[in-house]
Amino acid sequence: ATPTALLVGTGRGAQLGVLIKGPEVLENTRRADTIVLDKTGTVTTGGMALVGVSVAEGESEDEALRLAGALEHASEHPIARAVAAAAAERFEHSGGLPAVEGFENVEGLGVQGVVDGHAVVVGREKLLAEWAQHLTPELAAAKAAAEAAGRTAIAVGWDGRARAVLEVADAVKPTSAEAIRELRALGLTPVLLTGDNETVARAVAAEVGIDEVLAEVLPVGKVEAVKRLQAEGRVVAMVGDGVNDAAALAQADLGLAMGTGTDAAIEAGDLTLVGGDLRTAATAIRLSRRTLGTIK
């Protein structure tokens, strides 16, 4: 390979919104046949909003939002920001949100801590189950309805009982479906990989044209998922944005980090897609292949 041609490819990449770690990275794009896509923040905007609150009988919607909002205020997760923002707004003129003690982030599951003397848990049903807190039939119904509508349902419990379900919605980026079409045209099979539940993941996948879905995957499991695909003989490119994607981006044959994502993801990736537009992933692969074509 002539270094000059590789460097020309690298420079052209920068113009097109693709930052390439080093010219040697281009070599890895040729054989990729599978592209794994993180959901939140990659296929979707990650700009989540709180769109509903359901409470168990006898519980107060305000209290659920106040305690959950206070706890989520300590987390950086897109879901947490949506809940904290909605709570901060609701209680802006009535004392604001209480402080949190002993805050703990349970990666890929949710958050827990003490708020106003209550032991509060917010996150997946599975996390509440670890505290022997189970959704009442009415909360389970609210969760199922939210998920059927393609929303993410977050459970809220405190002092030993599940008491509310929060609904958070995250829109698919307007360019994601077109990006998937372009990636398929380049011979790549898309796979959606997410920590979110199966129903929500399927709804998003259907909206953008992805058939293969790996859902409810914990952050550590994302690396394993990539390894499994590689063990099947597939050559894997991966696109991600989160701290929870960093290890999988490093494991992939080609790691593409969203420039709008976390530093951890950008550091782990081989390429950075400068804007938040997933079509840049196709641009990056097309450019790399063309550059290699001129070298051969």
33 part of the active site: no
| Binding site residues, Mg ion, CB under 5 A | 38, 40-41, 241-242
Which C-beta is closer to Mg ion: that of 244 or that of 288?
244
- Of residues 211-240, those binding ligand ADP (CB under 6 A): 219
Quick one: the chain helix, strand, coil %, rounded to 5?
45, 25, 30
Closest contact distance (angstroms) between CB of 69 and ligand ADP is: 11
Exposure of 181 by Cβ count < 10 A (0-12 exposed, 13-18 middle, 19+ buried)? Answer: middle
Token pair 């897609």 is at which residue?
Answer: 273
The single residue of 33, 38, 116, 245 carrying the catalytic annotation is 38
Position of minimal CB gap to ligand ADP = 195
Residue 240 near residue 265, CB atoms below 8 Å? yes
Cα distances (angstroms) measured from residue 37 to each of 7, 168, 186, 189: 28, 21, 15, 10
Contact status: 167 vs ligand ADP (CB under 6 A): no
Site for ligand ADP in 71-130 (CB under 6 A): 72, 75, 77, 79-80, 108-111, 122-124
Which tokens in the block code for residue 239? 């696109």
Q: Which of 70, 100, 128, 154 binds ligand ADP (CB under 6 A)?
A: 154
The residues near 232 (Cβ < 8 Å, ≥ 6 apart) are none
Residue 101: how many CB atoms within 10 A of its CB? Answer: 10
Per-residue contact string for residues 170-209; x = within reach of ligand ADP by CB under 6 A? ------------------------xxx-------------
In angstroms, the CA 287 to CA 19 distance is 12
Which of ligand ADP, Mg ion, none has residue 108 at its interface (CB below 5 to 8 Å by kind)? ligand ADP
Residues that are catalytic: 38
Q: Which residues bind ligand ADP (CB under 6 A)?
A: 38-40, 72, 75, 77, 79-80, 108-111, 122-124, 152, 154, 194-196, 219, 242, 244
